[in-house]
Each structure stands twice: as structure tokens, then as C-alpha cells.
């Protein structure tokens, strides 16, 4: 909460959001939620910063996957992210656009999917669209819950955010299956 009140907090939020989408392990929700709670009038502004910076970071992840994958593959294969990367590759084969949308909204490491999208040469425009929608839904939901629910909602959000994310994944998968 102390960081959320700093004059440069929006810059820190943008930097964290950018870094998390391509290489950093801490999700921006940990800063977005308290900032929205501390200043509810700016909650939508903070969500927009988080979304745009996250998508920009996702483009860096895409670039890493497209141009540096052979260089990072040995390290990635030895990390705890390797299984998530393999899942991302499988999901792209099965779901395409929806894989990025789901990763953008859910607790799945989005950074792994941005790198996979680049390494698999996913078309850039669908990647950006899915990222904007998925990340935007997630971050605007977090900001909105903090704006309307206050401190009680923050405790609930921490407790249920993963469940909300997985429920959304299930809903999207079901919707895609039913439309096919």
C-alpha cells in the first residue's frame, strides 16, 4: 500500500507489468490491487496502464520466442517453466488464438505463452488481439473489484483469484468445443 501511494507508482506498475509478460515471475496484480484500493478514482487508469504495458511486454516475449528461442531453449528446458511451455505448445496446436486469450486471463504463466507464440510463429495480429482482451479482462476485473469492494474484496480476491481464472478457462474451453 505504501508503494501504491508513491508519485511514481504508475511507472512502477507499468514496468512490473511489462517485465512479467516476458521474463519476470511476479504478476502485476500484486501492485494493481493495492493501487486501485488506495485510489479507487484511478482504478480504471491503473488497469489500462497494466493492460497496455503487459501487452507490450508480451510482444517482447513474442520477439524472444521468434528470434532467440534456440538460445533460451536449453535454460528453459531445465527450468520449472518447461512443462508450462510444453502445455503452451500443445494448446496452440489445439486452440490457437484461444490459448493466448486463456493465458492472458488465467493463472497460467502468460510469459510462457508469449514466448511459445513467437517460437511457433503465431500471426501477430491475433496474438495482440487475444492479449489485449485476455489481459484487459483480468486487470480491469481486479481494478473493478478493488474499486467497488474495498479491503474486504482484496482478501477475497487473493483467496479466489486462481479459482476465478480456472473457471474462466473451463468456460472458454467449453464455449470453443460447443462452437466447433
Q: What's the pLDDT score for residue 155?
A: 63
146 grid coordinates: 478493488
pTM for the full predicted model? 0.82
Number of domains within the chain: 1
pLDDT tens digits, 158-167: 566 566 666 6
**Parent domain of 80:** 3-179
pLDDT tens digits, 14-26: 999 999 998 888 8
Residue 135: partners with Cβ closer than 8 Å, 6 or more residues away: 21, 50, 51, 54, 55, 58, 104, 105, 110
Burial class (CB in 10 A: 0-12, 13-18, 19+), 180: exposed
Range of weakest confidence among 19-23, 78-82, 151-155, 157-161: 157-161
Q: What's the pLDDT score for residue 109?
A: 83
pLDDT tens digits, 60-73: 999 999 999 999 99
Amino acid at each position: 500500500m505504501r508503494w501504491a501511494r508513491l508519485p511514481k507508482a504508475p511507472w512502477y506498475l507499468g514496468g512490473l507489468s511489462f517485465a512479467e509478460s516476458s521474463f519476470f515471475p511476479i504478476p502485476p496484480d500484486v501492485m494493481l490491487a493495492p493501487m486501485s484500493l488506495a485510489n479507487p478514482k484511478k482504478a480504471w487508469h491503473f488497469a489500462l496502464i497494466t493492460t497496455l504495458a503487459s501487452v507490450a511486454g508480451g510482444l517482447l516475449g513474442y520477439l524472444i520466442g521468434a528470434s532467440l528461442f534456440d538460445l533460451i531453449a536449453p535454460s528453459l528446458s531445465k527450468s520449472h517453466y518447461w512443462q508450462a511451455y510444453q502445455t503452451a505448445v500443445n494448446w496452440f496446436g489445439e486452440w490457437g488464438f484461444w490459448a493466448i486469450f486463456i493465458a492472458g486471463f488465467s493463472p497460467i504463466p502468460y510469459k510462457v505463452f508469449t514466448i511459445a507464440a513467437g517460437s511457433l510463429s503465431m500471426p501477430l495480429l491475433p496474438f495482440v488481439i487475444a492479449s489485449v482482451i485476455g489481459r484487459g479482462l483480468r486487470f480491469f476485473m481486479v481494478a473493478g473489484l478493488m474499486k467497488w469492494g474495498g479491503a474486504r474484496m482484496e482478501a477475497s480476491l487473493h483467496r479466489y483469484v486462481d479459482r476465478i481464472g480456472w473457471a474462466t478457462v473451463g468456460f472458454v474451453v467449453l464455449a470453443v468445443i460447443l462452437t466447433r
